[in-house]
Amino acid sequence: MHHQPLTWPSRQGMRLCRMLIILAVGIFSLQPASAQSDKVIQTLTTAFQTRNADTLKSLLGEHFSVSVYSNPNAFRMLKQIFDKQPALQKMELLQTLPGKEGTQLQVKYYFEKQTPTVSNILLDKDGKIDRVRLFDQLYGAKLDTTAHEVGVIPFVMENKKIVVQIKINNHPKVLRMLFDTGADGVGLKKEVADELGLTGSREQQTSIVGGSAKITISENNILHLAEGIQLERSNIAIFPKYDGELDGLFGGNVMRKYSVCIDFDKSVLRLYTQGEIAYPKGGFYLPLVYRGTPEIATGINIRGTEHLAHLAFDTGAGYNVILFGPYVHNKNLMERFRVESYSQNISFGHTTKTAMGKIDTITLGATKIPALQGSLQQYEEGDERWSPMSDGSLGIDVIKQFNIYINAGMREFYLIPNNNFGYPGDFWMAQVQYGFEDGKLKVMRIYPDSPAATAGLAEGDEVQLINNIKPLAFKNIATIEQYQREWKRQPINITVKREGKTQQLKIASM
């Protein structure tokens, strides 16, 4: 039997075979994507025509958003769109494009009595709806653009507070306001609102730490943040009680319109248009969930066990971290928590009990921050009513260690370690709370009627020496813990600077 010799195909033939294989694989791989695209278009068309958002619910992705908002806010906004948008005649799929993590569908909408509109639908890696650009645009958000800086607002740090000067309406009074990312809008003391001539047009209940409070709302005001930067049609909450010396606070209303960089090194807020920001090098990304205020995923390590918590990102909170009662209860955190003292958290006159103690580390991305001290709120039945979303709150002691971009539209934080990075959080020693600000060790709080208070130590004093130990030694956590033990029952000699003058004080033992 005669056998034909084996011959290899030519290079040209091999190239042709390879192209045919790739083409065949491509055709088969496109079939499921095409079917899913058709399903999305058909279901969205039905939802528009029946004005029923629930029709679309099964196709919404885990991170579905409208404008800057995540669920459940996004779904409520979706319902409003279907209720108010003109009747849809049809939708047409123009082309399918690759996206960052999934697929983009370029579609044309035909609404009654309107010019046809072309925009994209973004699908996630599972083929579910991540964003509908038309929905974003209907809420005034243009997110598929490159962002640019529109203004810079200076601030000063006062007692762990980011303090900004602004004006409201045409009144000449300059207000000293807290930039509070944990607040979803603007709030003023009643006496300040009275001075500005603001009157309430309605009342509403608002959630606070530990409960709720009734507030009056003044509508359609203008906030002047800086030259050429103003927020129109701003509603202002008028607080019957507001703790502290500042005139009020603002936060969420800025983050809804702009992306914000908090630059602690330069003491400025940088405002950007919505869209993709060209971030400087040296930082890292973290996902952002926005439900009126931003939330950040955080690792909390208590006695060697790390717990994932979704925390309110709260520049208005003067601490490292607090975990709310429902989360503490569900995770049984009190069983392992080393309680050092008990305290009370006061928010607009409402008091909740908290246990203060040792938290080993706080983790953001791959970055671990020694926290020293954190607070766990004691759980009371019914606490779930006021804390339905966040597990707790991440405060300024951690936040100030980074220059942070808050880009709610792109659902991302970008954190760059700054000049504060590496300094420990506030710590207690002999009933005095110390903390670093701008590299200087300062007295933050003093127990009333304590030996330190009796000796004349005052909040805001800048520490020069403690028992002949220089302040920078307390940048080391092991040193802090050593002297917390050694000086617990000993008198303390402390040298401080107050209003430019040096004073030496002797604090009796407890």
Residue 348 has pLDDT above 80, yes or no: no
pLDDT at 36: 84
Cα–Cα distance, 297 to 394 (Å, whole number): 10
Tokens of 72: 């459940």
- Mean pLDDT is lowest, of 31-45, 126-140, 292-306, for 31-45
Domain with CATH 3.10.450.50 in the chain: 20-138
pLDDT at 210: 53
pLDDT at 171: 94
What value does the CA radius of gyration of the chain take, rounded to a whole number of Å? 28
**What whole-number percentage of the chain has pLDDT above 70?**
89
Per-residue buried b or exposed e for 197-228, using 16+ beta carbons within 10 Å of the residue's own CB = ebeeeeeeebbbbbbebebbbbeebebbbbee
pLDDT, tens digit (0-9, with 9 covering 90-100), for 21-48: 333 334 333 345 578 889 999 999 999 9
- pLDDT bin (cut points 50, 70, 90) of residue 120 is very high
Quick one: average pLDDT of 149-158?
94
pLDDT at 208: 59
Looking at 3.40.50.720, 1.10.8.50, 2.60.40.1180, 2.40.70.10, the CATH number of the domain 149-272 comes to: 2.40.70.10
Distance of alpha carbon 129 from its chain centroid, rounded?
24
pLDDT at 386: 59
pLDDT at 288: 96
pTM recorded for the entire structure: 0.85
CATH, domain range 284-417: 2.40.70.10
Residue 473 has pLDDT above 80, yes or no: yes
pLDDT at 29: 39
What percentage of the chain's residues is helix, strand, coil (to nearest 5)?
25, 45, 35
Residue 383 has pLDDT above 60, yes or no: yes
Residue 347 has pLDDT above 70, yes or no: no
Which residues are within 8 A (CB) of 367 and not within 5 positions of it... i.e. 6 or more apart? Answer: 284, 415, 417
Phi, psi values for residue 15, rounded to 5°: -65, -40
Quick one: average pLDDT of 214-222?
89
> Of 111 and 445, which is predicted with more confidence?
111
Mean pLDDT of the chain: 87
pLDDT at 13: 46
pLDDT at 342: 82
Quick one: average pLDDT of 308-321?
94
pLDDT, tens digit (0-9, with 9 covering 90-100), for 46-71: 999 999 999 999 999 999 999 999 98
pLDDT at 1: 45
Grouping H, G, I as helix, E, B as strand and the rest as coil, residue 491 is coil
CATH, domain range 20-138: 3.10.450.50
Q: Which CATH architecture describes the domain 427-507? A: Roll (2.30)
Domain with CATH 2.40.70.10 in the chain: 149-272, 284-417
> Of 184 and 134, which is predicted with more confidence?
134
pLDDT at 100: 80
Residue 461 has pLDDT above 80, yes or no: yes
pLDDT, tens digit (0-9, with 9 covering 90-100), for 241-298: 776 789 999 998 899 999 999 999 999 999 999 999 999 999 999 999 998 899 999 9
- pLDDT bin (cut points 50, 70, 90) of residue 385 is low
Phi, psi values for residue 159, rounded to 5°: 50, 50
Domain with CATH 2.30.42.10 in the chain: 427-507
Instruction: Give me the amino acid identity at 155.
Output: F
pLDDT at 345: 65
Residue 73 has pLDDT above 70, yes or no: yes
